């Protein structure tokens, strides 16, 4: 009997371990302990079937799969934009609008549907519209002083084209197709100095401002009947007059004393008058300023009219 009791006590000590106080607490679940009886140390892991673990349980890896969405840049911008809209203030900001049809920096719209100073270049009172396909003079800003409309397709200059442009000092329309000009087209231009209309189809001239200092009418179709009588007489500041390669029959006189250069080559001039350059009533008269006269390529023999240029400081260029 004593032997049985002693054996039972020894068995209890063996199973409880050498430190009974470190044994698992009584409330620990059986799921946390290992099943040593069923544990197979000789088992081989099936790597072809990793879903099966050593304990016979399987995991459903499909439950762990997650879709990874790649957000495009456009979507990101759209998302940020939507956030920005939420944070926007209710206050509206009104931006200023440009009125191209009113007066000012941009001027009115041209026939091409564009404001003048967008179609052309406007810099410090100068408007450059060279080679822009213009068929008429565009509306110009009121402060325009110099207008350049060279090498376009302008045919007609109307008396309204330069209205209200009192500051205009020069007009350059070289290389167009101008064949017609209204009579009053330059009437309001009290400060006009330079008028350049070379290489056009002009047959007649309107009334010209007496303020002009430089007139260029080369390579047109002007005849003597197309120039007003005494058209240049009162131009007391005129220095340069270019009338070469036209259809003139005679030199338009009288010429102002301020004239320095007169080019008439390539016309149909056949004779000279004694008072063309000089004053027949004043034998001591000398025209000192006029030093450059071109009369070559005309049916004119200079030797026949010696008194016509006796008052000049330099002989005209022409055939003798």
Per-residue pLDDT at 206 exceeds 60? yes
Per-residue pLDDT at 312 exceeds 60? yes
Phi, psi (degrees; rounded to nearest 5) at 99: -95, 95
**93-106 confidence digits (pLDDT tens):** 443 333 334 444 45
**237-250 confidence digits (pLDDT tens):** 999 999 999 999 99
Question: pLDDT band at 9, cuts 50/70/90?
Answer: low
pLDDT at residue 212 in the model: 98
Per-residue pLDDT at 85 exceeds 50? no
Q: Which residue bears the tokens 């003798």?
A: 320
Per-residue pLDDT at 71 exceeds 60? no
Identify which of 10-19, 50-59, 84-93, 220-229 has the greatest average pLDDT. Answer: 220-229
pLDDT at residue 34 in the model: 44
Contact between 215 and 236 under an 8 Å Cβ cutoff? The reply is no
The DSSP secondary structure of 122-158, one letter per residue, reads EETTEEE-TTS--SSPPP--TT--EEE--SS---EE-
pTM above 0.85? no
- What is d(CA 180, CA 130) in angstroms, rounded to the nearest whole number? 20
- In 3D space, the residue among 159, 154, 160, 190 whose CA is nearest the CA of residue 172 turns out to be 154
Phi, psi (degrees; rounded to nearest 5) at 306: -70, -30
Per-residue pLDDT at 179 exceeds 90? yes
Q: What is the 3-state secondary structure (H, E, C) of 223-265?
A: EHHHCCCCCCCCCCCCCEEECCCCECCCCCCCCCCCCCEEECC
pLDDT at residue 108 in the model: 53
CA 272 to chain centre: 52
Question: pLDDT band at 48, cuts 50/70/90?
Answer: low
Per-residue pLDDT at 169 exceeds 50? yes
Per-residue pLDDT at 65 exceeds 50? no
pLDDT at residue 320 in the model: 62
Contact between 127 and 117 under an 8 Å Cβ cutoff? The reply is yes
Which 3 state secondary structure label does DSSP give 39?
coil
Question: pLDDT band at 316, cuts 50/70/90?
Answer: very high
Q: What proportion of the chain, given as a percentage, has pLDDT over 70?
A: 64
The DSSP secondary structure of 193-219, one letter per residue, reads -EEE--SS--S---PPPTT-SEEE--S
Identify which of 114-123, 245-254, 297-306 has the greatest average pLDDT. Answer: 245-254
Pairing status of strand 126-128 against strand 121-123:
antiparallel
Minimum mean pLDDT range among 17-31, 116-130, 192-206, 212-226: 17-31
Instruction: Indicate the burial class of 85 (C-beta count within 10 angstroms; 0-12, 13-18, 19 or more).
Output: exposed
- What is d(CA 210, CA 232) in angstroms, rounded to the nearest whole number? 8
pLDDT at residue 318 in the model: 83
CB atoms under 10 Å from CB of 128, counted, come to 17
Phi, psi (degrees; rounded to nearest 5) at 237: -115, 5
The residue that leads in pLDDT, 119 or 23, is 119
- What is d(CA 93, CA 25) in angstroms, rounded to the nearest whole number? 74
* Beta-carbon-side half-sphere exposure of residue 137 (alpha carbons within 13 Å): 22
Question: What angle is formed at CA 198 by the lines to CA 192 and CA 203, rounded to 5 degrees?
Answer: 95
Q: Which residues contact 80 (CB under 8 A, 6 or more apart)?
A: none
The residue that leads in pLDDT, 292 or 57, is 292
Tokens representing residue 154 in the block: 């302008």
């Amino acid at each position: 009997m004593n032997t049985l009791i002693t054996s039972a006590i020894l068995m209890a000590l063996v199973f409880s371990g050498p430190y009974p106080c470190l044994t698992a607490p009584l409330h620990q679940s059986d799921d946390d302990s290992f099943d040593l009886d069923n544990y197979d140390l000789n088992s081989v892991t099936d790597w072809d079937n990793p879903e099966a673990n050593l304990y016979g349980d399987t995991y459903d890896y499909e439950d762990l799969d997650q879709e990874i969405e790649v957000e495009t840049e456009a979507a990101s911008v759209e998302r940020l934009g939507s956030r920005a809209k939420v944070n926007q203030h209710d206050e509206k900001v009104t931006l200023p609008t440009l009125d191209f049809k009113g007066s000012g920096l941009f001027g009115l719209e041209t026939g091409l549907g564009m404001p003048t100073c967008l179609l052309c270049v406007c810099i410090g009172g100068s408007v450059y519209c060279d080679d822009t396909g213009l068929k008429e003079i565009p509306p110009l800003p009121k402060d325009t002083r110099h207008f350049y409309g060279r090498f376009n397709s302008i045919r007609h200059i109307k008396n309204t084209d330069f209205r209200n442009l009192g500051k205009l000092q020069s007009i350059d329309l070289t290389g167009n197709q101008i064949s017609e000009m209204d009579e009053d087209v330059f009437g309001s231009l009290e400060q006009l100095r330079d008028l350049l209309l070379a290489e056009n189809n002009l047959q007649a001239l309107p009334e010209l401002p007496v303020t002009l200092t430089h007139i260029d009418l080369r390579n047109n179709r002007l005849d003597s009947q197309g120039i007003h009588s005494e058209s240049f007489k009162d131009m007391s500041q005129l220095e340069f007059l270019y009338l070469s390669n036209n259809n003139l029959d005679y030199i338009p006189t009288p010429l102002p004393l301020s004239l320095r250069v007169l080019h008439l080559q390539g016309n149909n001039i056949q004779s000279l008058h004694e008072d063309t350059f000089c004053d027949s009533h004043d034998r001591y008269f000398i025209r000192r300023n006029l030093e450059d006269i071109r009369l070559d390529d005309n049916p004119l023999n200079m030797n026949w009219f010696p008194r016509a240029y006796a008052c000049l400081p330099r002989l005209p260029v022409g055939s003798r």
